[in-house]
A and B are shown apart, each in its own frame.
Chain A
Amino acid sequence: MFRLALSSLRLRKGSFAATFLNVFLGATILMAFSSLFDTGTADGVSAQDKKTLTTMCYVVDGWGVLIVAFGIAATLNLTVRQRSNEIALLKSAGAVPGQITRMIIGETAVVTLLAAVLAVPVGYLAGNAVVETLVSNHQVAKGTDYEFGLMALSMGLGVTFLAAAIAAYVTGRRASTVSTREALVTSAAGTTKMTKKRIGFGIFFLLLGTDAGVLVPTVLKDRGYLTMSIAGEACIHVSIGLALLSPILLRIASALVGGVVRGFGGTPAYLAQANIRQRSGRMAGVLMPIILFVGMAAGSLYMQVIQNDAVSSGRLVRSQDDKNVETLNFVIVSTIAVFAAIVLINLAVTATVYRRREFGQQRLIGSTPGQVVRTVTFESVITVVTGLVAGTVAALASIIPFSLALSDEAIPDAGPQIYLVVVAIVVVLTFAANIGATRKTLRERPLEALAAAI
């Protein structure tokens, strides 16, 4: 099975590159910020610096673990889904479920190990850069020695391995337990029902987020950093809840905007709608990073604006902690936003390249390349609109409570610029990734695409 795993790795460089990139970036982020803990707990560091450094580590790691795990699971899930045909063939050739689970775990282990080990030097350098920034901002004493130790390695390697192992086990098991016939059928139709468990978790996270949102302007009003961090949690929980429910959201959106889109989009729009209806599960993959990106970026940045307004209007006194929180906010937002953006591009490109066979078929029966691109464009429109709406809801889940807590107004007087920039980034990334990858598959002649994509 290990040899099978190795040769399969060689064959599927593209989708493994996606997993690799995900693990590599995730491990880098975790190691960089966990090394702040090592630095902060070293001998000779003042209590204030220790607090600054370790808090930053806890916050970023808390979010980071969640998002890295999510990213790895989504990529792995996608790559395994794309191989359901191959898995079905292996099974019909006599592979037992255990062997398939082992094959997937084996492949993932090789990729994860490679990515995590290569992330060590990069994580080291990135952590060093963060400490240097903190020193030059006078948030940490000059002469603080950078340490990259046990915490950095155990978090960076441990968490990524654990996340990958769990994701591989779950996807591997799911892939191996469906019957051969079922696997062939669903791989062809691409339909998968959302499990009750998934819907349950989605609702659970939405409730958690609502709970946090209610607490912020009431019980947790005027509690300084705590108010802000719980408001941030509301956004995270709502993002995760909506990401879990995203296949349903996508189907609803497709039904709602489908009529409008079809009115002026013709056959490509009609195809896009059919594709989304049939494969909402697969297409919802890119919604996770979109929702997280919009929720995180818009949520945190507007909270910072609300906070700064409160300070400048004298409603709030600014402490050293607040300054740290501000830096922290920007660090978290930019790190996680970059990660989400890369996961987004990753998933969009992998999913699109995988469809070269389908695009080839579409062209063979009379679709012009332009019509294929337009089909993908309409799919992207529906996906992006869904993701933006869900991401905006997630952002509002932290903005409204926080604004109420600090200014008694639900909507801050902050202008739409930040939001528009966030939206523009998502739109550009999604369309560029989807349409770029589609155009690339169109460079092949349709017959080549069919022959190559078995």
Chain B
Amino acid sequence: MNRAGAHGRPVAGDVLRLASVSKVYGTTGVPVTALKSVNLSLAPGTFTAIMGPSGSGKSTLLHCASGLDQPSSGEVYIAGQQMTFGNETELTRFRRGRIGFVFQQFNLLPSLTVRQNITLPSRLEGKRVDRQRLEAVVERVDLLHRLDHHPAQLSGGEQQRVAIARALVSNPKIIFADEPTGALDTHRAAEVLDLFDQAVREFGQTVIMVTHDPIAASHADLVLFLVDGQIVDEMARPNPATVAEEMARLGEEVARRHARSES
């Protein structure tokens, strides 16, 4: 059950592997267990959606898997290499070129233009900016006429496209996206999902995306359902109706469980 997305491919080829990853927040006061011994393997070139009630640990899972946060226990492997959480500088160097992150709040740097924001990860890495790729990505996200604007001058949808372009341009193996369509209208959301589809199908990148939206989830090859920090179910080749059904069922189950634990 907890082994997901391998689809019969050899484990050694996994682009992401989590081995009994747990995360406990709060060393003072009441500790909150956000992830309970999660195991997960994803093959390269796959598109995975993560769903679950709010507070179920979806963001925590992405943060731990992408090296933005340190698991309390367990191991994370990216393309077969173990992530070491000791030193931030080393961890950052490790993430570069391997991992891209698309945040719900975009996290664009306000004093940089769109072009500068998109090329910043490459610059930080000390790499030359690949002009051809930059042009291709920018055209794909439809930002050509916005390149010299600042984030504050853009709409939410445009800012999210900048954030995605930033994640795509440095050509990472895995792109993590935390509710990337949460702040967008249906039309813009569909565009963003197309971009991810394309990253997976055309560029062979791996996308792992948290979402609340069954339609968004139906773009993925596989949907993982997270409840109280554990992967409780998975669904291959999802469609919006079955995903919505499953979410409703899990919602009821969680409500029942919480009612029981309270009485």
Chain A interfacial positions (CB closer than 8 Å to B)? 184-186, 188-191, 266-267, 270-271, 274-275, 277-279, 358, 361-371, 445-447, 450
CA distance A274 to B115 in the complex (A): 12
CB distance from A21 to the nearest CB of B (A): 28
CA distance A369 to B91 in the complex (A): 11
CB distance from A391 to the nearest CB of B (A): 26
Among B50-58, B76-84, B121-129, the one that faces the other chain is B121-129
Contact with A along B63-87 (1 / 0, CB 8 A): 1000011100000000000000000
CB distance from A178 to the nearest CB of B (A): 13
A366 touches B153 (CB 8 A): no
Among B101-109, B193-201, B246-254, the one that faces the other chain is B101-109
Among B1-9, B92-100, B222-230, the one that faces the other chain is B92-100
CA distance A258 to B110 in the complex (A): 19
A358 touches B88 (CB 8 A): no
Complex interface: chain A residues within 8 A of B123 (CB): 266-267, 270
Can you name 11 A-B pairs with beta carbons within 8 Å?
A188-B110, A189-B110, A190-B111, A191-B150, A274-B112, A365-B120, A366-B95, A366-B96, A366-B124, A368-B92, A368-B124
> Is B44 part of the contact surface with A, judged by Cβ < 8 Å?
no
Complex interface: chain B residues within 8 A of A186 (CB): 152
Complex interface: chain A residues within 8 A of B120 (CB): 267, 271, 365-366
Q: Which of A191, A277, A365, A367 contacts B166 (CB 8 A)?
A: A365
> Is B180 part of the contact surface with A, judged by Cβ < 8 Å?
no
Nearest 6 pairs of A and B residues by beta carbon: A278-B111, A189-B152, A188-B152, A368-B89, A267-B123, A361-B107
Complex interface: chain A residues within 8 A of B152 (CB): 184-186, 188-189
Given A366-B92, A369-B89, do A447 and B112 touch, yes or no (CB 8 Å)? Answer: no
Complex: chain A residue closest to B69, CB-CB: A447
Complex: chain A residue closest to B105, CB-CB: A450
Q: Which of B63, B70, B121 contacts A366 (CB 8 A)?
A: B121
A278 touches B150 (CB 8 A): yes
Name the interface size band of chain B. Answer: 20 to 34
B153 touches A185 (CB 8 A): yes
- Judged by DSSP, the binding face of A is helix
Q: Which of A185, A271, A365, A368 contacts B88 (CB 8 A)?
A: A368
CB distance from B34 to the nearest CB of A (A): 13
CA distance A365 to B109 in the complex (A): 10
B109 touches A189 (CB 8 A): no
Complex interface: chain A residues within 8 A of B157 (CB): none
Complex: chain A residue closest to B125, CB-CB: A366
Residue from B88, B95, B151, B170 having most chain A Cβ neighbours under 10 A: B88
Contact with A along B118-141 (1 / 0, CB 8 A): 001101111000000000000000
Complex: chain B residue closest to A358, CB-CB: B109
Complex interface: chain A residues within 8 A of B110 (CB): 188-190, 278, 358
CB distance from B158 to the nearest CB of A (A): 14
Complex interface: chain B residues within 8 A of A446 (CB): 68
Given A366-B121, A366-B124, A368-B88, do A279 and B111 touch, yes or no (CB 8 Å)? Answer: yes
Complex interface: chain A residues within 8 A of B166 (CB): 365
A364 touches B93 (CB 8 A): no
> Is B116 part of the contact surface with A, judged by Cβ < 8 Å?
yes
B69 touches A361 (CB 8 A): no
Complex interface: chain B residues within 8 A of A277 (CB): 111
Given contacts A186-B152, A361-B107, A363-B88, 15 further A-B contacts (CB under 8 A): A190-B111, A267-B123, A270-B123, A271-B120, A274-B116, A278-B110, A278-B111, A364-B103, A365-B101, A365-B121, A367-B124, A368-B89, A445-B69, A445-B70, A447-B69
Residue from B107, B111, B120 having most chain A Cβ neighbours under 10 A: B111
Complex interface: chain B residues within 8 A of A189 (CB): 110-111, 150-153
A274 touches B101 (CB 8 A): no
Complex interface: chain B residues within 8 A of A450 (CB): 105, 107
B101 touches A364 (CB 8 A): yes
Complex: chain A residue closest to B59, CB-CB: A447
CA distance A273 to B101 in the complex (A): 25
Q: Which of B69, B112, B124 contacts A371 (CB 8 A)?
A: B124
CA distance A266 to B112 in the complex (A): 16
